[in-house]
A and B are shown apart, each in its own frame.
Chain A
Amino acid sequence: MAVKAEGTRSGADAWKRDSHTREARERVIKGFLMACAYMSIFTTFGIIIVLFEETLRFFFEVSPVEFLTSTRWAPSQGDFGVLPLVYGTLVATVIAIAVALPVGLLTAIYLSEYAPRSLRRWLKPALEILAGVPTVVYGYFALTFITPLFRDSVFPSIGSFNAISAGLIMGVMIIPTVASVSEDAIFAVPRSLREGAYALGATRRETATKVVVPAALSGIVAAVILGISRAIGETMIVTIAMGAQANWFGSPLEGMQAMTAYIVQVVGGETPRGSVTYKSIFAVGSALFLMTLTLNLASYWFVRRYRETY
């Protein structure tokens, strides 16, 4: 590899080379690069095969109807109704989006329409750092800071594990995702639309909220869908701060278990390979994969749609 590189660097040396070897080398390299690109296909197939093989084995022991419709989740007693886990995931996700949608969208408007250039250069990296904080750190913060804060102020009866703290912090975690994808969409709105609004006497706020945001709407929808998908797949915050007890229709002030948290709980315990509990994590994983895949495809579709518009 290094020798070849030397050869290509000095043109004279490469010139002397037999064109057949050069062509052969080109083909080998192209093949290698192609293999790298095809890795992604193998990864996807790998995920699908691993998930669905174990899920199928799980369904030999637990009927799919029970899995999808029963509201009791107690693996130790052989109850495998996934709905309480889905409920836990959805409660945390709804709370997270209730935080991330307004804050993320307003942040995007600020970055694109209001922020002075110099501040923008600081604010965007700071948001990236927020996105890079390990989720165990967020989990610790939700458990040891946000929950006690709630207990001492508005919700004296809140559980040590609860959905509201986990959801709020998860919302903070996905602010950067929502903000940066919406900002791309808002930024892509042609200048002429803004100038037209100003020419008609609209104020800055009116331009932003009534012209720019509606024009960027499909991109913003994509951002929110992506945020929802992130929240559904998030693992450590809900594992640490929301608890490990499936809770069907529990209040957000109580602990509950998310789908991802169940997977972590099982792999952390001494579950023998091949047992029905072990297989159940792949069934839960399949459900999780299908949920996020649907959302990601929807988001992709929305982004492409808005790209076609401008």
Chain B
Amino acid sequence: MTQSGAKAERQADAGGSNFKASASGRYGLDKAFTVLVTGAALVGIVVLMVLLVDVIRDGSTMLSLKFLTSFPSQIFPEDGGIYPALIGSLWLLGLTALISVPLGLGAAVYLEEYAEDTRINRMIEVNISNLAGVPSVIYGLLGLGIFVQVLAPVTGGTSVLTGALTLSLLILPVIIVATREALRAIPGSIREGGYALGATRWEVIWSHLLPMALPGALTGIILALSRAIGEAAPILVVGVSLYQTYATTGPFDGYMALPTQIYDWISRPQQIFQDSAAAGIVVAMAVLLVANSFAIWLRNRYQQRL
């Protein structure tokens, strides 16, 4: 009511005050507005460019192949590197994918293909959209309470498995939403064709719906996973190591990670650590840009085919 009232008022306003304005004045304003919106759209891109140039410039002194294969060092920081952090982040990525992808696909298939419109299912939907908005540091507190303390005998306390479980819960809503959208885009005739041939619900899902939904879902999954390995706050809360002398070799080992290694370097005052942080950022950004570009390419390809 109030909204349509305001709308009408504004439109009346447009009719009243602007009608008197000269056409050239109105076109001038139009041009100015075009410049304004174009400029606004470029703000983000410009900041991204400046940021990239800035970190590459700062990080160039430290960046080398040796930086990728060395352990960080407090005694000889100029020889230090991000090897254990890189390995730790790869472990986090792999375990998080193993945990979150089946769960996310399963939940999405249930909600899209099985769930009837009951109270509890509507509650799950509202709940998922709310979980997507819970701050990542809160997921860290959840992980600290459940995986680090209550489930310590299973997860090994502050292990890389705990980190991956925490990150999985964090990105599950994103994966579920992306997969549901991909499933919804599949025409009903595909399902009916399957049923007409006597296939059961799951047979139709496994043989037709999942393969068809996968490219779309995969885009969401890659974006979610790249977000997960960029997260520092939740794993800081569940006890990522800021320094360790070995690289992670199993799910119950301690672990370091790229974003937290970068954070650790940033928080040290000496210039050499700031440079190391910048070099670490260059590595992390390179990984993320590759992952994101792949996801975007996949989506564009998929969209063209549909």
Contacts and interface: CB of A to CB of B under 8 A. Distances in A.
Given A204-B30, A210-B14, A232-B135, A133 B55 contact: no
Contacts of B296: 125, 128
B263 A236 contact: yes
Contact of B141 (A11, A15, A50, A144): A50
Contacts of A50: 141-142, 144-146
A215 B7 contact: yes
Interface in B232-267: 232-233, 236-237, 239, 242, 259-260, 262-263, 266-267
B164 to A, nearest CB: 15
Chain B interface residue count: which class? Answer: 35 or more
Nearest to B15: A200
Nearest to A115: B41
B33 interface: yes
A218 interface: yes
Interface residues of A, number: 107
B62 interface: no
- Majority secondary structure, B binding face: helix
Given A39-B103, A44-B131, A235-B136, A214 B7 contact: yes
A194 to B, nearest CB: 13
Given A132-B223, A172-B47, A263-B237, A218 B266 contact: no
A68 to B, nearest CB: 19
Nearest to B297: A125
A34 B107 CA distance: 7
Interface string B130-155: 11011111111110111000000000
Interface string A272-310: 000000000110010011001101110110000000000
B110 A33 contact: yes
A135 B111 contact: no
Given A137-B55, A145-B54, A205-B30, 4 more contacts: A47-B138, A144-B274, A214-B3, A285-B138
Ranked 5 nearest A-B pairs via Cβ: A233-B135, A36-B106, A50-B145, A134-B230, A106-B40
7 contacts: A8-B206, A30-B201, A44-B127, A130-B45, A205-B34, A285-B137, A300-B129
